[in-house]
Amino acid sequence: MVFEEKTINSEYVFKGKLIKVKRDIVTTVNGESVRELVEHRDGAVIMALKPDGKLIMERQFRKPVETVVFEAPAGKIDEGETPEEAALRELKEETGYTAGAIRLLTSMWPSVGFLDEKLYIYLCTNLEAGETELDENEAIDIEEHHVDDLFDMVLSGKITDAKTQIGILMVKALIDKGELAEYLQGI
């Protein structure tokens, strides 16, 4: 039987620019327990697919893991912005591309044990190249890789970013099911 926890008390123990941390006291099946929770603005992830079967990917240094991460373009959803609007904005800012078509693939919670952030993964097609509009402190390398190669990189463990893994697997599944055949040039 699933037991739904009820919050008895909640207090913020940290409020930063990017995250808030709160400590909740909740009822459990065996009494009470403490939950430490992180609040983070939701985000949009972009799987930008070209007609040749290549996805636009990024490499950037990620401080929490102290390494350069190979990932799909993504970013926070701004106040008053829809997830779709954020996806289109982030695509333009980080890669320079604009999309003529956008489709929600899925939404996901990347770490439900302590984080409330929800990610919306979009497929963007009918891409048009342009100039990036990176934030002042962003340094991102843009690369293009074929979906089949990216799929192999997911299976071999070379792509370690969860949102990117899910996006690649979803795009690959759509291609294999023939749902993107009209858009793709004979791949």
Residues labelled catalytic: 136
* CA 74/CA 91 separation, integer angstroms: 8
Helix axes 162-176, 147-155, angle to 10 degrees: 130
CB 164 within 8 A of CB 138: no
Distances (CA, A) of 160 to 11, 97, 136, 176: 34, 24, 26, 23
